[in-house]
């Protein structure tokens, strides 16, 4: 390969035209070269991670049920919610978990079961699991600790619009379940107890 030749080439990273000394040079600069290398490496990692997720997703649920130790992905699959939901359960202390390695969180099956053997709790629709944290903060995890919208209206004799505005203004966590929307008694009572009504 002669170093005297000059070839016009297109950089495969930035797309700019550049003068190369060989016909096989792919990048215009060292910078593009290393950027392309990093991008390729990153893509490889993403692919590997996606493959892993696919593998876990494809794992029969029956097989997961027999496992003593579970990854976050496996837990999410087992209980049918997102990984993010599992992390929020862990972060709020609801679900015990161990970091055996950096970025490797393991949940024991018995700890997962523990989550479901707590005092009777109504199942929360999957779509609202993300609000679990707010509910824990509000101290309301049982439907018995909640009012329906109608119950609040009856108790405090206010219109639905007034109540909805109050809920919005105070960012009261609201959970929809079937036909009903539930709000934590503790919060509502605190907000409305100024106007006692029996």
Nearest distance from C-beta of residue 17 to Zn ion, angstroms:
10
Q: How is residue 84 annotated by DSSP?
A: H
Question: Cβ(75)–Cβ(112) under 8 Å?
Answer: yes
State the nearest-atom distance from the C-beta of 4 to Zn ion, in Å.
23
- Closer to Zn ion by CB, 19 or 165: give it: 19
Nearer to Zn ion among residue 36 and residue 56 (C-beta): 36
Q: How far is the CB of 42 from Zn ion (least distance, A)?
A: 18
Closer of 14 and 192 to Zn ion (Cβ): 14
Three-state SS string over 113-142 comes to HHHHCCCCCCCCCHHHHHHHHHHHHCCCCC
Q: Which class for 55: exposed (0-12), middle (13-18), buried (19 or more C-beta within 10 A)?
A: exposed
- Judged by beta carbon, residue 14 or residue 115, the one nearer Zn ion is 14
Q: Return d(Cα 32, Cα 43) in angstroms, integer.
A: 16
Assigned token pair, 37? 């290398």
| Binding positions for Zn ion, rule: CB under 5 A | 11, 13-14, 28, 32
- Least distance to Zn ion from the beta carbon of 183, Å? 57
């Amino acid at each position: 390969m002669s170093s005297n030749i000059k070839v016009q080439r297109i950089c495969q990273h930035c797309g700019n035209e550049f003068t190369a000394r060989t016909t096989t040079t792919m990048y215009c600069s060292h910078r593009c070269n290393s950027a392309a290398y990093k991008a390729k490496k990153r893509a490889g990692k993403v692919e590997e991670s996606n493959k892993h997720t696919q593998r876990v997703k494809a794992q029969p649920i029956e097989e997961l049920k027999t496992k003593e130790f579970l990854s976050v992905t496996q837990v999410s699959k087992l209980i049918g919610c997102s990984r993010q939901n599992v992390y929020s359960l862990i972060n709020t202390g609801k679900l015990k978990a161990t970091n055996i390695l950096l970025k490797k969180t393991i949940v024991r099956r018995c700890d997962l079961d523990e989550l479901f053997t707590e005092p009777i709790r109504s199942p929360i629709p999957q779509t609202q699991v993300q609000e679990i944290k707010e509910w824990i903060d509000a101290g309301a995890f049982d439907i018995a600790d909640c009012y329906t919208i109608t119950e609040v209206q009856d108790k405090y004799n206010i219109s639905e619009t007034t109540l909805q505005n109050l809920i919005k203004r105070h960012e009261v966590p609201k959970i929809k379940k079937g036909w009903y929307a539930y709000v934590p008694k503790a919060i509502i009572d605190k907000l409305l107890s100024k106007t006692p009504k029996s």
